[in-house]
Chain A
Amino acid sequence: QNVSVEVLDHLEQLALVDFRDLEGVERLQKAIQFADQLHEVNTDGVEPMDSVLEDRSLYLREDDVTEGNCTKELLENAREKVEEYFVAPPGNIPLSKLEERETFLQGS
């Protein structure tokens, strides 16, 4: 079964990366096919495993500020900044719909 254009579009919006071309879409189809092999395994009664260290209690330090004051260093790697702010383009504007976006999926 092929993945529908709606789902592909949805993925592009969620991931904010594009499929680029047919190869990209086929790559996803193959990935799904590959992953489907998991269903051959019987996992009744098996708990999902998040981490191999699940039996241990991990270290949490006290919620005290121990370092910081490195504004200058942190700003150095940003391209757009003003005083001590990172500058972003206007928010709350959703990504254009499929028909208006420059995406390979448009033809589908």
Chain B
Amino acid sequence: QVSAALKEGRVTPTELCQRCLSLIKSTKFLNAYITIAEETALKQAEASEERYKRGQPLGVLDGIPIAVKDNFNTAGIETTCASNMLRGYISPYNATVVQKLLDQGAVLLGKTNLDEFAMGSGSTDGVFGPVRNPWSYSRQYKEKSVPKSHSEDEECNWVITGGSSGGSAAAVSSFTCFAALGSDTGGSTRNPAAHCGVVGLKPTYGLISRHGLIPLVNSMDVPGILTRCVDDAAVVLGSLAGHDPKDSTTIQDNFKPFELPNLTDVSKLSIGIPKEYHAPGLSSEILALWLKAADLFQKAGAKVAEVSLPHSRYSIVCYHVLCTAEVASNMARFDGLEYGHRSDMNESTESMYAATRREGFNDVVRGRILSGNYFLLKQNYEKYFIKAQKVRRLIADDFMKVFRSGVDVLLTPTTLSDAAPYVEFIKEDNRTRSAQDDVLTQAANMAGLPAINVPAALSERGLPVGLQFIGRSFQEQQLLTVAKWFEKQVQFPMIQLEEVKRHDHGVFQDQKSTSFS
């Protein structure tokens, strides 16, 4: 919609950019952004405006304000991964996905907050502080919370965004941008999407280039897309997908961007409901919502059947081993010599490296590096690392069997419950939380499959709850078509942000109803 508005001249790219920048300032308390690239964004917006004036926009994304998670390299802009290790690091290049968006004319507003090095499921463990879920300030949430005293309320009750792409999810959810890039290794795009009531797409591994995305787990990382509706996600996907010679793990098949049809007949669709996803700890609310959704498909004529993915419960354990092992390897590049933080210790290279890493990494990162190194020790390699790789195959095979039996798309919950209040969330440590929260999203990364979170309903506490669709490899078109149909059926309510309304009614009205496609 906003793209049409830009084309028709109802709003100009610079106006749009300025409104978003001002909204970012008035929602600063969310802590969604680490760096705001105000000057360059305005320049990009001006360039876009010129193109629209000449009637030559680069495409649907021309002039659209976007945000990028701070673990993607952005030329000339600080890239920190929310870690002291990379504070002050100015990327010398753009990640491929960033370059692609800029080539389409998108306006890069800034870099969003995350858990340090994308390790976590709350966006609470970065050095710039936790991200607050915009829904904490919504009328829907406030109406349902038990009032203590009015001022105490907001300070103690705010809920987390989920993670690790929490900043990106919050940015999209609070209307400060129209789309944001996240990353997804164990659910890091879908988890915050569910908690913030936005669409979170994890593409098939190998579809979108990882060049420039600071790696966590090379065999599972993918760039993630966060938007306010499924159509928007399809548009962004269209501009990002495809082979990149700079990332040899991107497949060489030709990718054709697609528009999503408005599906009306679901009778040829086969939906699978994996019974193992009724995981321990799943809230009764979400269970009910999941069943209601299955019912919805069935009543509309689709074939809905229970399926089994027997190794599901080992997915998180397997992930834990493989992730820490790859992390141990990927974090080895941070030694202070070529970039990033460097300690003053100068006695020897080893002692300098050790001091630099001691100073630069937080507990979570160090913990994973040490665990990873443990699993990679000669005496443990076979027992843990190789074993985990074997279990990985079993998990991937589980999915293959189900898809081969005729199921098109799987329907599962995305999270075990709605967003927890920050004060509750931090009572458990990062590893425990991640192990709990990634349970439903993790297996898709293990098998490399595409998956998407679609906001489904509000919980009893007035917070968003989403449902997840998992599709076949490289069948994003089918996956998104089904997701779009579902989105239309549920009519998820718009967030009613009162704080923001007070500051700038005009901005709010315009952003509110807009998707950009």
Contacts and interface: CB of A to CB of B under 8 A. Distances in A.
Contact of B350 (A10, A20, A23, A93): A93
A59 B321 contact: no
B338 A86 contact: yes
Contacts of A76: 90, 92
Nearest to B90: A77
A80 B342 contact: yes
B354 A95 contact: yes
A79 B90 contact: no
A90 to B, nearest CB: 6
Interface residues of B, number: 69
Contacts of B433: none
Given A35-B375, A49-B389, A41 B314 contact: yes
A88 interface: yes
Interface in B340-360: 340, 342, 345-354, 357-358
A61 interface: yes
Interface in A67-98: 70, 73-74, 76-80, 86, 88-91, 93-96
Contacts of B409: none
Q: Which residue, of A11, A35, A37, A73, has the highest number of chain B Cβ atoms within 10 A?
A: A35
B357 A17 contact: yes
A47 B328 contact: no
A89 B336 CA distance: 11
B387 interface: yes
B367 A53 contact: no
A77 B337 contact: no
Contacts of B447: 52
Nearest to A40: B314
B194 to A, nearest CB: 24
B203 to A, nearest CB: 13
Contacts of A39: 383, 387
B348 A70 contact: no
Interface string A24-65: 100110111011011111010011111111001011110000
A30 B320 CA distance: 12
Given A11-B370, A31-B431, A35-B375, 10 more contacts: A11-B374, A15-B370, A16-B357, A46-B393, A52-B448, A53-B251, A56-B206, A59-B250, A79-B336, A89-B349
Interface of B: 89-90, 92, 205-206, 219, 243, 245, 248-252, 311, 314, 317-318, 320-321, 324, 328, 335-340, 342, 345-354, 357-358, 361, 363, 366-367, 369-371, 373-375, 377, 383-384, 386-394, 396, 429, 431, 435, 447-448, 473
- A-B pairs with the 5 shortest C-beta distances? A52-B448, A48-B389, A93-B348, A49-B393, A77-B339
Interface of A: 3, 7, 10-12, 14-20, 23-24, 27-28, 30-32, 34-35, 37-41, 43, 46-53, 56, 58-61, 70, 73-74, 76-80, 86, 88-91, 93-96
24 contacts: A12-B370, A14-B373, A18-B366, A27-B363, A32-B374, A38-B384, A46-B394, A47-B390, A49-B396, A50-B219, A51-B219, A52-B206, A52-B447, A53-B205, A53-B251, A58-B248, A70-B92, A77-B92, A88-B349, A89-B347, A91-B349, A91-B350, A93-B348, A95-B354
